[in-house]
Amino acid sequence: MDPVSGTMRSSTLPSADATASMPGVEKPGRWRVLLQTPSVVVLLLWMTVPLALTIYFSFLRYNLLNPEVRGFAGLQNYRFLWEDPAFFPAIRNTLVLIGSVLVITVGLGTLLAVLYDRRFFGRNAATLLVIAPFFVMPTVSALVWKNMIMHPVYGLLALAFGKLGLAPIDWFGSCPMLALIIILSWEWLPFAFLILFTSLKSLDAEQKEAAQIDGANSVQFFFHITIPHLRRAMSVVVMIETIFLLSIFAEIYTTTSGGPGTATTNLAYLVYSLGLQQFDVGIASAGGILAVVLANIAAFFLVRILAGSLKGGH
Amino acid sequence: MERPSLRTWVWGLLGWLTAAVLFFPIFWMTITAFKTEQGAYQPNLFFIPTLDSFREVFARSRYAGFALNSICISFGSTLLCFLLAIPAAYRMAFFPTRKTQSTLLWMLSTKMMPSVGVLLPVYLLFRSAGLLDSIWGLIAIYTLINLPVCVWMTYTYFCEIPAAILEAARVDGAGFWSEIRHVLAPMALPGLSSTALLTIILSWNEAFWSLNLTSAHAAPLTVFIASYSSPEGLFWAKLSAASLLAVAPILVMGWLTQKQLVSGLTFGAVK
Amino acid sequence: MRPTITLLACSFLASLAGAAEPAGITIAAVNNPAMIELKKLSTKFEAANPNLKLNWVVVEENVLRQRVTTDISTGSGQFDLVFLGQYEAPIFAKSGWLREIKDTPASYDIGDVFQSLRDGLSYEGKLYALPFYGESSMLMYRKDLFAAKGLTMPDQPTYDDIKRFAAALTDKSAGIYGITLRGKPGWGENMAYLSTLVNTFGGCWFDLQWKPQIDSPEWKNAIHCYVDLMRNYGPPGATANGFNENLTLFASGKAAMWIDSTYGAGPLYDQKESQVADKVAFANAPVAVTSAGSHWLWSWSFAIPKAAKSPDAAEKFALWATSKEYVRMVAADTGWASVPPGSRKSTYDNPEYEQAAPFARVTLKAMQTADPLKPSLKPVPYQGIQFVGIPAFQSFATVVGQNIAGALAGQMTVEQALQAGQAAATRAMQQAGYLK
């Protein structure tokens, strides 16, 4: 039974392995087993070839702009990144960013999904409005937030604050991380909402009626029926968003350029800043490999946490 | 069956309030597209609209070319993604083995490499393969980037379909393809619709690879937008107009297929 | 679903057809007004040369730089003509990636192009790019606000003057800030301006042994001056303000002074885009200890990669676009105020230009006095006023810029920021092999 996926589905229904041994039912033919092969092969190729090249380059001195300097660099590229004073702040920033955006998008996404599950006037139109932020290009979103909304002199928030008699907040100067988290949460909330909303659609109407007959109120229903049903969808949202948020780059580049200081430098931006920006393939590749290693560590713990929380309650 | 009650009104109000708050930045961008450059950074809600920015945007760039490229690349890569993902997700959801979970996680781990780290190796690869500035090259990259997400989401939705129903269909004598068409697809439609939508959007808005791997011929709308984001000089109205135009094909597509989309997304509980 | 499939099929076929377009010249350009105008007028070139089609790739400056550098250094031949400046040209030319520009026709009058620009675009005495337009930096100020307080701007202001003026003109309750300067981190953003500030305070990036000088007393004085000015008299949110944000601030009347590119004058003068079109005046960039390196020098210039597929056609277009005739064409189309500035002396000799563009005189003086070969009071091993012409510069200069932005935002002291910058530059120079 898959800890990540299987609990809900297989609890009351016979699993495929069980049916396979039931009389009169065919074993899954071999070609059905091979169904996932094309995907796996394609991804294997995609992962291996660029990965191998990246590992190879990470051990070289290879700067595009300086063709005279070539040769084996050993661990020098890695050390250059590892010893950079911005390296550990970058890791910390990456984790803070991911954690905050996950909490906000999954939390708000769940609440919104439950809200929109109810019928109200013009619900379909409102749903489209909620999904809309996902349609806009990240660079444009970041620019709109930075200049039209958050700018402390001519932005809309500054205007609103001024009307209320408060001093405008210098978002990108004094709380750049918070500003970035707001922008990213706004961009990713539709994604979380959509997946959770769709998943809610498969909640048995029978279960709903049974709960109502039992006299459960909304809060009990929410915590004992809705949330467990959404657990799988939530874990998918968490995993996918984590993967995307690990390498967030465009929004940081557009708004703060990693600053002030290193307040908003995440790992991807550090790799860009130290490697790609000076066209040093060696350093950029080493940074890529370091990011993969760290991401795998993070994913390892993440799976542990998710599997643990899913096992309980059934 | 439900009586319209105070509760319904409260939910409605709450729902619309959240929608308004979330949509507001886009609303603001939309009205800025109809302002003059000078008026663009002023917080007026009411103003005299003008189509200057749209005219300027159309005059400057071959919008149709970019839009066509975006459509080809996004839909092409999504189609390819589904062709690869559906069989895999089917296998993993209905005939799971001990290795299924690790395969899924491994697939997701292929996305962990930040693009900035792997740009140059891929660029050199593409150069050798002659794939620079080609639609097929971008379709290939986008398929590979989005395949893990596609597989995961499809797998999740397949998992929510009770295996017994499929077994029953098989026992009744349904062949593999009719099982897919008549039993699986209708039940998985909400999930497949939202997966398709998300995959198309992810490809549509992907700006890093499209900017770096294309030049004159295969450039999609993200490159079109890049010519309006922070040039030297005032550009808010034009950027807003360009962004609207960049989102427009998707909105049109969505409007044309809204029946399938809405029914797909709001399909009632499965029974 | 059927209409969607039909649409898809048509799109695929169309894309295949589109791939078989006639060959042409692919140009990589920046998205600023002069370039947009060039793109518009280039249809005349296409009309005069029917078998040459121009394919434009127009993107923002940093993206352009990345695309162009990747393409040229890997010899990919994606572009026939690229825009670059005094930073890239010598570096690319040194590695033999650019086609030399020689034997230009006499009617083109290459001597008319500013010598300082040509020097910056040459390597070992050979020219590798043709300037499209040039820019330096200057001070832009609101003559109406100055008049109201009874202040006059001298022809050559000093930073002491600037402090005085800023103090007198700042009125935060009325939303007027005495001065606005670049604060967004980046080697081409805040560090472009700050390099000139450091130069004029007598400092430099490296001494003759390539040892970074970022913790030197001159840097400290310069950055203290900057941070004090911005903290006391500058707008909030300064660390996110680049050229565009400051242009918006000044054009909407919120700033009294602005030191930035001479290129900013054009949009400020445009009635359609600026609220202060009739209230803006210009002066030379302020100086402190020395005038060497007090204002920068840059020109977006046409270069032809060696790997270009149609180099002769590319050169033909480049010569056309940087000629005197082209300048006249722009003047006829949109007026003299918006012709490509700062590239040819003949533009400035023309009385119509002087009349239409009051910023011409200051710009001309700036272009003629900026010397990229002697950017600082002290002798230095590099060339470039607002940059250092080595590949590693883009990286560590951005880190220095980030730290200075941190000091501006109050996250650290100026000393701490400069120390961090010094460490970053030293590490980078060791990695790049300049220092042991």
pLDDT in tens, A164-177: 988 888 888 889 99
For residue B191, what is the DSSP state?
Answer: H
Q: What is the pLDDT of residue A13?
A: 31
**Which of the residue ranges A212-216, A229-233, C183-187, C198-202 would you say has the lowest mean pLDDT?**
A212-216
Residue type, B36: T
Longest dimension (CA), chain A: 79
Pairwise CA distance, residues B249 & A61, whole Å: 45
Helix (H) / strand (E) element for B94: namely: helix B63-94
Q: Judging by beta carbons within 10 Å of its beta carbon (0-12, 13-18, 19+), is residue C436 exposed, middle or buried?
A: exposed
Rounded to an integer, the average pLDDT of B195-208 is 89
Rounded to an integer, the average pLDDT of B158-185 is 76
Residue A23 has pLDDT above 60, yes or no: no
Structure tokens, C248: 């918006």
- Which residues in chain C have their CB less than 8 angstroms from residue A154's CB? 248-249, 252, 254
Q: State the average pLDDT for chain B.
A: 82
Rounded to an integer, the average pLDDT of B156-163 is 80
Is C409 part of the contact surface with chain B (CB cutoff 8 Å)? Answer: no
Is C338 part of the contact surface with chain B (CB cutoff 8 Å)? Answer: no
Is B262 part of the contact surface with chain A (CB cutoff 8 Å)? Answer: yes
pLDDT in tens, A85-120: 889 999 999 999 999 999 999 999 999 998 888 878
Neighbours of A167 (CB within 10 A): 10
Pairwise CA distance, residues A11 & B162, whole Å: 11
Residue B255 has pLDDT above 70, yes or no: no
Q: Is the CB of C58 less than 8 angstroms away from the CB of B215?
A: no
Is B122 part of the contact surface with chain A (CB cutoff 8 Å)? Answer: yes
Q: What is the pLDDT of residue A22?
A: 41
Residue type, B118: V
Collapse the DSSP code of B57 into the 3-class scheme (helix H, G, I; strand E, B; otherwise coil) and give the result.
helix
Residue B49 has pLDDT above 60, yes or no: yes
Q: What is the pLDDT of residue C18?
A: 45
Q: Which residue blocks in chain A are alpha helix, DSSP H?
A: 6-10, 16-20, 30-33, 37-58, 76-82, 87-117, 123-131, 138-143, 156-163, 171-174, 176-200, 205-214, 218-221, 227-246, 250-255, 267-274, 281-311
Pairwise CA distance, residues C355 & B270, whole Å: 77
CB C37 within 8 Å of CB C339: no
Pick the most confident of A174-183, A224-233, B104-113.
A174-183
Q: What is the pLDDT of residue B231?
A: 64
Structure tokens, C360: 């011409």
Residue ranges of A 44-73 with Cβ closer than 8 A to chain B: 46-47, 49-51, 53-54, 57, 64
Collapse the DSSP code of C288 into the 3-class scheme (helix H, G, I; strand E, B; otherwise coil) and give the result.
coil
Q: Is the CB of B71 less than 8 angstroms away from the CB of C11?
A: yes
Between B183 and B51, the more confident residue is B51
Pick the most confident of A41-55, A71-85, A210-224.
A71-85
The CA distances from residue B182 to B87, B161, B165, in Å, are: 16, 14, 11
Q: What is the pLDDT of residue A206?
A: 72
Q: What is the pLDDT of residue C98?
A: 95
Residues of chain C with pLDDT under 70: 1-23
Q: Interhelix angle for A87-117 vs A227-246, to 10°?
A: 150
Neighbours, chain A (3 or more CB pairs < 8 A) = B, C
Pairwise CA distance, residues A280 & A69, whole Å: 11
Residue A18 has pLDDT above 60, yes or no: no
Distance from CA of C409 to the nearest CA of A (A): 6
CB C410 within 8 Å of CB C239: no
Q: Please name the residue that has the structure tokens 């670059």.
A: C84
pLDDT in tens, B79-134: 999 988 888 888 888 877 777 777 777 777 777 888 888 888 889 889 999 889 99
pLDDT in tens, B132-151: 999 999 999 999 889 888 88
Helix (H) / strand (E) element for A60: namely: strand A60-62
Per-residue pLDDT band for A302 (boundaries 50, 70, 90) equals: confident
Residue A10 has pLDDT above 60, yes or no: no
Pairwise CA distance, residues A58 & A293, whole Å: 14
Q: Is the CB of C402 less than 8 angstroms away from the CB of A83?
A: no
Rounded to an integer, the average pLDDT of A219-233 is 81
Residue ranges of C 316-375 with Cβ closer than 8 A to chain A: none
Q: Please name the residue that has the structure tokens 């077994």.
A: B167
Is B205 part of the contact surface with chain A (CB cutoff 8 Å)? Answer: yes
- Which residues in chain B have their CB less than 8 angstroms from residue C251's CB? 38, 234
Q: What is the pLDDT of residue B264?
A: 55
Pairwise CA distance, residues B90 & B67, whole Å: 34
With a pLDDT cut of 70, the percent of chain B lying above it is 89
List the single residue in C237, C412, C417 with the smallest CB-CB distance to A172. C237
Q: What is the pLDDT of residue C9?
A: 56
ipTM of the complex: 0.84
Q: What is the pLDDT of residue C13?
A: 54
Q: Is the CB of B152 less than 8 angstroms away from the CB of A49?
A: no
